[in-house]
Amino acid sequence: MPSRSIICTTLALLLGGTVLQPSRATESGASIRIGAVLPFSGGVELYGQQAKLGLDLAAKDINAAGGILGRPVEVIYADDKTRPEPAADAMRSLVEKQGVLAVVGPITSRNLNALVPLAESSKTPLLYATNYEGGKCSRYLFSFGAVPNQELGQLLPYMTRSYGNTYFLLGADRVWPHQMFDIAQPLIEKLGGKVVGTKYTLGTETDFSPLIKEVAASKAKVLLFALKGDGMDFIRQADDAGLLKDITVAFLGLSEVDLGIFRGKGQNMVTVVPAVAASDDPSVKAFVAKARAAAEPGVAVSNYVMTHYNTLIALKAAAEKAGKLDKEAIIDAMAGLVIPSPTGPVTLGPDHHTAMNMFIAGTQGTELVQVRSLGAIAPQPECSLAGR
């Protein structure tokens, strides 16, 4: 999923050092190498940084508890540059040259499409921890983020009941918004609602006033928003123009890491997430405090930190269940696995997608606040491993 570019020189130097000085996981007693193909340039650095924070926390906790089968974990990071070709090159290098046990990542749907075939051909587990449009089931893919029934399927009924049944769909002209809107339209109609307008942006817009006028003229009560990255300025401009007084934003993929971009604008937007950093739950508070202590000053902590943290916790549990560092044995052990998380148990189903607790949240000040706990929502990935 796209977001605003944030350049972090210190992070880049750290990543470079990590990749240049790996240890050999094949040596007896050496560290177990886990690859991470994530964006550290090209447009979604914000999420690459969040993913890295979660993975670093998990590796530290795992190593403090004795590692995996008595061996320490080392995460080797590679920059996918937010493009499929570098993502594929990065995964090939991690598997063929670094000998990683598994790969975590990427962030964007487009890059996921590039990596799944490589996971299958190399028979390497790919652990994906971003919410996505679903539809990908593979023996070698495990999804730790939400799929549409866990996100859209909970958000749209709430918005329709609370704010109205007319929708304007606004997204970037990319894979994820198109597919999410294709899923949303029949759900809205099933709820008795109506889509009164749909628009995709090209990422070159700086003045959103014509689009704001178009949305206002539609008289829609809900703006279903999947316009991240280049389009985040829309929220500030829409707020300044008074649009948000008459329409409520249902924001797909919104998290705490985005909020600084709005500079106090865009209050009372609504989203559905697998964790809310401002939660009063003691387990969540402890996890967020630990993450903030490890993060660079000023870095937000979002659900992406937790979902990426969960990938390594699951990998450890599966390897120890299998009793050996064998990729196929670990994959067999992963299906049906239940792992603890700050928000409660996470269960990997037979199609390698996760059942987890979900929450309706809204923007308030500089935070996301929990509006409602939805309980555990089982995934419906719209695909199956049966017969594969």
Three-state SS for 322? helix
Cis peptide before 106 (omega within 30 of 0): yes
Under DSSP, the state recorded for 71 is B
Cα atoms in the 13 Å half-sphere on the side-chain side of 309: 27
**Superfamily of domain 152-252, CATH level 4:** Response regulator (3.40.50.2300)
Each residue's pLDDT, cut to its tens digit, for the chain (388 residues) gives: 444 333 333 333 333 333 333 334 434 579 999 999 999 999 889 999 999 999 999 999 999 999 999 999 999 999 999 999 999 999 999 999 999 999 999 999 999 999 999 999 999 999 999 999 999 999 999 999 999 999 999 999 999 999 999 999 999 998 999 999 999 999 999 999 999 999 999 888 999 999 999 999 999 999 999 987 667 889 999 999 999 999 999 999 999 999 988 888 999 999 999 999 999 999 999 999 999 999 999 899 999 999 999 999 999 999 999 999 999 999 999 999 999 999 999 999 999 999 999 999 999 988 999 999 999 999 999 999 975 5
CA separation (Å) from 191 to 81, 112, 167?
A: 39, 31, 12
- This prediction has a pTM of 0.90
Domains 9-146+280-358 and 152-252 share a fold: yes
Q: What is the pLDDT of residue 232?
A: 83
Q: Domain spans of the chain?
A: 9-146+280-358, 152-252
Q: What is the pLDDT of residue 8?
A: 38
**Residue 62 phi, psi (nearest 5):** -65, -45
For the domain 9-146+280-358, what is the CATH code? Answer: 3.40.50.2300
* Beta bridge mates, 287: none
